[in-house]
Structure 1
Amino acid sequence: MFETNDQARLQPSIYFVPEEGTHRWAYISQTANNEWFYVTYETVDEEVVCRQQMMIPIAPYVLALATRDTPEAFIRSVQLVSPPWLNERDTWLMEEIKEIRQVGPKFVYELSDGRVYPAELAALEAKTMWSKGD
């Protein structure tokens, strides 16, 4: 999950006035060493296209957002931000996802280049929960 700290909360300014009920933060913290998602959500209003980036801490929240997709408002892309224990590298990586699948209670991520995390679940039969083409 992500956390915010009062010391990181930004005060409204004449340049960045948040909508009512929202707050702006200089930074947030991640409380676990787990994967998270950088999601680009697109809305189209006649000729105006607006893209908003969201940092989402767990796959079920991404899937819940995807259930609200319409032709006018939808997930444009999902990038997996994976820790070293998941991506089997020495550092965190941010990579585009092609599909999110589920094997029992676990999620499996197929990347745009065909790699699958976690690798040990790649060969198991899984239910596709979200696909970039949807």
Structure 2
Amino acid sequence: MFITHKPAEIFLGAYLGDDATQYWQYVEQTTHCPWFYVKVGRRQGSEALTRMVLIPSISALEQLLNEQGADIWLLDVQLVSPAYLNGGDGWKMEKLLEMRETVDDIREAAYVYSLEGGHFYTEALGACRSDLKSPRIIFSVTPASR
């Protein structure tokens, strides 16, 4: 999850003619978990705009995926992974090709991330989830596989 602090707020809304939007110099991440940096296309009137969105969780990414339509669509998803997941010394940002929720032979649930460059990361979910019957693709750059 991301949080903001009042001292980090930048007061540009009135200057830009948008009093409903708040601007921040930085946000804080409260968990040491993977998150997503997503390039989103949005239609505003006759214009198509591109924005970058920080998504703190898989459930929030799924919500954004479900909201896709004529006015909003995903252009690119980057997985930002901590060292415990990527096997490195620190955080990494890599293009996400596919993410699925699956179970292994002993019925242990996990997320499997397929990344550009042939990397795969697996994140165990802990106790077996009884409602998870078979592998489920959550995200794929190939729309036909979703």
Q: Alpha-carbon deviations, 1:46-82, whole Å to 9, x = none?
A: 8743111000100111111111222552110100000
- The alignment's C-alpha RMSD in Å is 2.5
- The residue that corresponds to 2:6 in the other structure is 6
Identity, % of aligned positions: 28
**TM-score under structure 1 length normalisation:** 0.83
The 8 Å contact of residues 77 and 96 in structure 1, kept in 2 or not, is answered as yes
What count of residue pairs does the alignment treat as equivalent?
130
User: How far is 1:22 from its partner?
Assistant: 1.6
CA distance 1:10–1:88, change in 2 (3 Å): same
Secondary structure at the residue paired with 1:118?
Answer: strand
The answer for unaligned runs of 5 or more in structure 1 is none
Q: 35-44 or 110-119: which moved more?
A: 110-119
Q: Which amino acid is 1:127 matched to?
A: R
**Cα deviation per residue 1:62-103 (whole Å; 9 max; x = unaligned)?**
111111222552110100000000000001100000011112
Structure 2 runs not aligned, ≥5 long:
104-108, 126-133
Moved over 6 A (4+): none
CA drift of 1:106 comes to 3.5
Task: Report deviation, 1:33.
Answer: 0.8
| d(CA) in 1 for partners of 2:92, 2:124 | 18
Q: Provide the residue aligned with 1:64 in structure 2.
A: 63
Does the C-alpha gap of structure 1 residues 13 and 119 become closer, same or farther in structure 2, counting only changes over 3 Å?
A: closer
**Distance in 2 (alpha carbons) for counterparts of 1:31 and 1:82:** 14
- Secondary structure (helix, strand or coil) at the match of 2:12 reads coil
Select the structure of larger CA radius of gyration: 2
Report the CA distance between 1:108 and its aligned residue: 1.9
2:138 pairs with 1:108: no
Q: Give 2:128's aligned residue.
A: none
Counterparts of residues 6-85 of structure 1 (less than 5 Å): 6-12=6-12, 17=16, 19-44=18-43, 48-85=47-84
